[in-house]
Structure 1
Amino acid sequence: MPKVRIEKKSRQHNEIAKQGIMFNKDFGQHILKNPMVISSMIDKAALRPTDVALEIGPGTGNMTVKVLQHVKKVIACEIDTRLVAELQKRVQGTPLQQKLQIMVGDVLKTELPFFDVCIANVPYQISSPLIFKLLLHRPFFRCAVLMFQREFAQRLVAKPGDKLYCRLSINTQLLARVDMLMKVGKNNFRPPPKVESSVVRIEPRNPPPPINYTEWDGLTRIAFTRKNKTLSSVFRQTAVLTALERNFKLHCSLHNQELPNDFSIKDKIETILSGVEAEQKRSRTMDIDDFITLLHAFNKEGIHFS
């Protein structure tokens, strides 16, 4: 047993000697080291000298120092205090020091300040919640250039009928225009991750569509639980019927409406679906307009998803 500990310890020492700092896999730390990729991401962000840029997970600052040269200010969000120290050391005593603000902590739990552009090599395990935190952030930002795991990036841009089309695709595309920019191989990182990466550009729709996003999210959550099944089949599930009946009864009580004795939530939902010719549709082939039509039809009849 002691032998294993010694080997492990010496391996760690070798890592520290090689890299100068140990990277924490719990935080998804893979430092982007290729300056060409960094320059390309900065070009795609079309930074302006008056911009405030938000960077998430700056790591050792390879991208940060480049972004600082193009903008008025960089707000860097970093959870690892060791990397914060590295970043501070890197700009100390230079003109860039005054332009850098570091927020220490978990970006998902942090109140984000105003920013014009977001640029980041995103820790992959926070990809989905981070996207929606950014898209629901106000005031609006101009655009975000973000590095994700390749399959996640492909889901963001997937269209109806694509194999990877899912709730993430339609929810993101409702709130933003998303474009795939470039592929980035795993050897561009230190240490290399197990997966390939891609960079996407996200531009929030401003103004956003006139939809209650909580309602929309509730509808797509149900519809995409079984994206290959017909909506008629998906909405016949007991758990779905129970939740919608509870919401409908609440709606009726708030609006002083009496429920008929022979009321059936199942019949009501089937009537709504057939009214917009959606009972045989499947989520995997439905676009944003299809879901907007469906949501309006449900809400008009007092069926709510929040």
Structure 2
Amino acid sequence: MSFKTKKSLGQHFLTDNNIIYKIVDAIKAEKSDRIIEIGPGTGALTKYLVQKYDDVHVIEVDQRAIDVLETEIEGITIHQQDVLKVDWKELVSKEGKTYVVGNLPYYITSPILFSLLEHRDLFEDAILMMQKEVAERLAADISTKAYGILSVQTQLMSSVEMLFDVSPNSFSPPPKVQSSVLRLTFDQPKMDCSDKNLKTVVRTAFNQRRKKISNSLKPVLGDLQPEGYDFDLRPENWKPATYAKLTAHLESIGMME
């Protein structure tokens, strides 16, 4: 069935079977575990997932793609929804474990990531394809140019593992950028602070990443500088755990609800 991709939906369909096999091989789920695929398109990856797993769910917003999936692939549960509006609690397996896999549209990669991180207690891990530049930010070490808001939040809430790169030629139509596949394993211990307050502290710090933290965090701290932190450093020089520790401290003294 011929299918014209929609630019407005950021559709770049994976056509390289070698990459598809590598993604399927990277999934650590058991046969009976639930697999949720984000943005299956016309099912290039989905058709291999159903061969390996008994409980495959897909989230797809494009009715034309759904028509193809319904015609060509048996044994899947289709959720016609915007992935940013799904109720993850409704989608995960009530009995077993749930794994996520997806080729994320570039223009909504960050919101999808934050949604998965917010609901990380529901999933075992997520294997995600995204723009290489974004993937490198998630995995970035401190004191590097790529290290920032995405790095801190992702690394506090998951273990990040870069798996492999994907050439533009593996897609139809080819995107203008390189892609990467990574795994987020949701195995990090529960933080002593809320996600919401952590996000506030981290975003405030990196909004002025060239300044010392004493200046960039002034909107949150005012003139307060708790002991045990080097506020002369720049935001990129603090480890993720330092941001979590400071946020928890601010909550404990009533500066953040």
**Common fold by TM > 0.5:** yes
Kindly provide the CA deviation profile for residues 101-141 of structure 1, in whole angstroms up to 9, marking residues without a partner as x.
00012010111211511111111111111112112226521
User: Compared with structure 1, are the counterparts of its residues 218 and 100 closer, same or farther at alpha carbon in structure 2 (3 Å cutoff)?
Assistant: same
C-alpha distance in 2, partners of 1:277/1:77?
44
Q: Partner of 1:57 in structure 2?
A: 39
Alignment check: 8 A CA contact 1:227 1:283 kept: yes
In the TM superposition, 1:93-112 aligns within 5 A as 97=74, 99-112=75-88
**Matching residue within 230, 238, 257 for 1:286:** 238
Alignment check: 8 A CA contact 1:114 1:139 kept: no
Alignment check: 8 A CA contact 2:60 2:66 kept: yes
Question: Which amino acid in structure 1 is aligned with residue 92 of structure 2?
Answer: F
Q: Partner of 1:231 in structure 2?
A: 213
User: Compared with structure 1, are the counterparts of its residues 206 and 50 closer, same or farther at alpha carbon in structure 2 (3 Å cutoff)?
Assistant: farther
Question: Which amino acid in structure 2 is aligned with residue 295 of structure 1?
Answer: T
Q: Partner of 1:260 in structure 2?
A: none
Q: Partner of 1:143 in structure 2?
A: 125
**Matching residue within 109, 112, 122 for 2:104:** 122
Question: Which amino acid in structure 2 is aligned with residue 47 of structure 1?
Answer: A
Aligned residues: 251
C-alpha distance in 2, partners of 1:278/1:299?
19
In the TM superposition, 1:1-306 aligns within 5 A as 20-91=2-73, 97=74, 99-112=75-88, 113-115=91-93, 116-137=98-119, 139-205=121-187, 207-236=189-218, 240=219, 244=220, 266-267=222-223, 269=224, 271-272=225-226, 275-304=227-256
Q: Structure 1 runs of 4+ off > 6 angstroms?
A: none
State the SS of the aligned residue for 2:37: strand
Kindly provide the CA deviation profile for residues 203-245 of structure 1, in whole angstroms up to 9, marking residues without a partner as x.
0125432321111111111111112210112134xxx2xxx5x
Identity %: 32
CA-CA distance at 1:44 after TM superposition: 0.8
Q: Partner of 1:256 in structure 2?
A: none
State the SS of the aligned residue for 1:42: helix
CA-CA distance at 1:285 after TM superposition: 1.0
State the SS of the aligned residue for 1:218: helix
State the SS of the aligned residue for 1:101: strand
- Can you give the 5+ residue segments of structure 1 that lack an aligned partner in the other structure? 1-18, 92-96, 245-264
C-alpha distance in 1, partners of 2:100/2:138?
17
CA-CA distance at 1:162 after TM superposition: 1.4
- Can you give the 5+ residue segments of structure 2 that lack an aligned partner in the other structure? none
User: Compared with structure 1, are the counterparts of its residues 122 and 173 closer, same or farther at alpha carbon in structure 2 (3 Å cutoff)?
Assistant: same
C-alpha distance in 2, partners of 1:79/1:302?
43
> Which structure has the larger Rg over C-alpha atoms?
1
User: Compared with structure 1, are the counterparts of its residues 281 and 301 closer, same or farther at alpha carbon in structure 2 (3 Å cutoff)?
Assistant: farther
State the SS of the aligned residue for 1:62: coil
Q: TM-score under structure 1 normalisation?
A: 0.78
Q: Partner of 1:10 in structure 2?
A: none
Question: Which amino acid in structure 1 is aligned with residue 77 of structure 2?
Answer: Q
Alignment check: 8 A CA contact 2:158 2:185 kept: yes
Alignment check: 8 A CA contact 2:132 2:178 kept: yes
Question: Which amino acid in structure 2 is aligned with residue 102 of structure 1?
Answer: I
C-alpha distance in 2, partners of 1:23/1:190?
8
